[in-house]
């Protein structure tokens, strides 16, 4: 199935506008969902349901975590102090290419990871799911 990234972006933007009550112009590729757009976990569920309805792509809230963590075990992803490890950062760079790995090395708390997730990162995830439903 071929779907243009622009098409997915428009669907994501519509879902974010409807779920969060934000303005269309606020939904830009680099905006973070939890920070810039102030989404909460309950909003993420709403957004994912709306995308399922508009694009037929099923992504659960837990899938987001799985996608970001990339199958790396909890022990390998973070250090005992709760900071994302070098292995974890390398994984994050694959799904969130906008992050500055060197600036975050040894400093990114595990609970801060999803705060880096942007509209563009969500678009990429949805696009991967639309074009290859088995992909995470």
Binding residues for another protein, rule: CB under 8 A, are: 41-43, 45-46, 49-50, 60-62, 65-66, 69, 71, 74, 82, 110-111, 114
Between residues 69 and 85, which has the closer beta carbon with respect to another protein? 69
Nearer to another protein, 1 or 71 (CB): 71
Give dist(CA 129, CA 119) in Å, integer. 15
Residue (97 or 115) nearer to another protein, CB: 115
The minimum distance between CB 110 and another protein, in angstroms, equals 8
Which residue in 97, 98, 102, 70 sits closest to 86, CA to CA? 102
Residue whose CB is less far from another protein, 5 or 90: 90
Beta carbons within 8 Å of 61's beta carbon, 6+ residues apart:
41, 44, 45, 48
Answer whether 114's CB lies under 8 Å from 68's CB: yes
Smallest gap from residue 114 Cβ to another protein (A): 7
DSSP 81: T
Q: How far is the CB of 126 from another protein (least distance, A)?
A: 17
Q: Residue 42 Cβ, how far from another protein at the closest point, in Å? A: 6
């Amino acid at each position: 199935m071929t779907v243009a990234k622009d098409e997915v972006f428009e669907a994501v933007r519509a879902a974010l506008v409807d779920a969060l009550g934000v303005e269309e112009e606020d939904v830009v590729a680099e905006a973070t969902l939890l920070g810039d757009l102030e989404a909460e976990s309950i909003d993420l569920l709403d957004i994912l349901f709306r995308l399922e309805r508009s694009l037929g792509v099923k992504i659960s809230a837990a899938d987001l975590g799985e996608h970001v963590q990339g199958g790396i075990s909890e022990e390998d992803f973070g250090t005992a102090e709760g900071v994302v490890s070098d292995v974890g950062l390398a994984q994050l760079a694959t799904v969130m290419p906008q992050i500055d790995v060197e600036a975050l090395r040894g400093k990114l708390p595990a609970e801060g990871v999803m705060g880096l997730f942007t509209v563009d990162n969500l678009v990429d995830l949805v696009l991967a799911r639309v074009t290859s439903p088995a992909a995470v």
